[in-house]
Amino acid sequence: MNGRRLILSAGMLAALPTGMARAQDRTTVVLGTATPGGGFPVFGAAFADTVNEMDSSLLVQTRNTRGSTENIPLIEAGSLDIALATGEPFHEAVNGIGRPAASLKILAAMYSSPGMFVLRADSPHRRIADLVGKPVAFGAQGSGLVVLARYVLDGLGYDMRKDFQAVFLERAGDGPAMVEDGRVAALWGAGVGWPGFSAVAKSAGGARFIVPDEAEAARILAKHALLKPLVVPAGSYPGQDAPIASVGSWAFVIARPTLPDETAYRLARALHKGEAAIARRLPQARETTAANTVAAAPRADLIHPGVQRYLREAGLLR
């Protein structure tokens, strides 16, 4: 337009459709998820739909990334407003383990993530030791699930890259087919409702899960205090008739440290108001509650100040 700015008069603004005017007034929040086919994009969609439904002044938009280990530097750089991250990369970032300490804040707890291997039901393997030397898909390279696997296996004295034929995926959704056609002996994942587990469990041959036994879990927890004993309830996956006890951590919605307190407050309020709605959209999101945010945060000061304000008003934080 030859360098000229388009200026709308007050009368022209008044003539704009109501929906357009409302869209201009909304606060856009960009949410980083992960590669298609994994749990993070599914959760991200449920989170965005719920917040947008509960607070018309907010507009959460999702963006696919390579997962937790990319989300954290993107958050640090201010390229994302909020993002999803598993507990292990978050722990390493805020505590400066293997990298400079990051100023990250928790917006909400997502859900607990007990780690498991899924195999075809007819697989001869029964224990983690049986998978040593075998091809195992550990997830997308940037996924926090890979970091969880590293901690779990290290607790048992294994090196993920040396003791297994480690396979890292371009897309999280590629893993189930590799289990089904035998290209890998197992697929690593975590949590309730994880798409990779569901896909294998729904396949014609069905699925079986391998987790650390009681003695192995004790060894892992003794070495890595950030991990916790967690349980996948019975019936979480087709054919899973009994609860499965494993180890893992909580995943979080994290925020850039410069996210305005008022925006974080409104996001927390909308999410708390929408707890029943997000649970209807996604079964594993039943754990996405304000109470669990308080319980799962490693320290209260890691919760975003705007969220802390809301939690105090809700009587959930002192």
Sequence letter at residue 281: R
Q: Is the pLDDT of residue 19 over 80?
A: no
Average pLDDT of the residues in 283-305 = 96
pLDDT on residue 24? 61
The CA distances from residue 107 to 150, 156, 318, in Å, are 26, 33, 17
Q: What is the pTM of this model?
A: 0.83
Do β-strands 244-255 and 82-85 pair in parallel, antiparallel, or remain unpaired?
Answer: antiparallel
Are the C-beta atoms of 36 and 30 separated by less than 8 Å? no
pLDDT at 6: 34
Q: What is the DSSP string of 10-25?
A: HHHHHTS-HHHHHHHH
In whole angstroms, give the CA distance from residue 131 to residue 133. Answer: 6
- In what helix (H) or strand (E) does residue 314 lie, and over which residues does it extend? none
Q: Write the pLDDT tens digit of every residue in 302-317.
A: 999 999 999 999 999 9
Residue 232 to residue 114: CA distance in whole angstroms: 7
CB 38 within 8 A of CB 173: yes
| Amino acid making up residue 191 | G
CB 24 within 8 A of CB 56: no
Range 144-152 average pLDDT: 95
- State the residue for tokens 């994880």: 194
Q: What is the mean pLDDT of residues 89-106?
A: 95
Ordered domains of the chain (ranges, CATH): 10-112+251-313 (3.40.190.10), 113-249 (3.40.190.10)
How far is residue 129 CA from its own chain's centroid?
27
Residue with tokens 């945060």: 297
Non-local CB neighbours of 41 within 8 Å, separated by 6+ positions:
33, 34, 35, 62, 64
Tell me: pLDDT of 127 over 80: yes
* Whether the predicted pLDDT of 287 surpasses 90: yes
In angstroms, the CA 103 to CA 93 distance is 8
Percent of the chain with pLDDT over 70: 92
Q: Is the pLDDT of residue 288 over 60?
A: yes
Q: Summarize pLDDT for 236-262 with one digit per residue, the tens.
A: 999 999 999 999 999 999 999 899 999
Task: State pLDDT tens for residues 212-238.
Answer: 999 999 999 999 999 999 999 999 999
Residue 199 CA to residue 201 CA, distance in Å, equals: 6
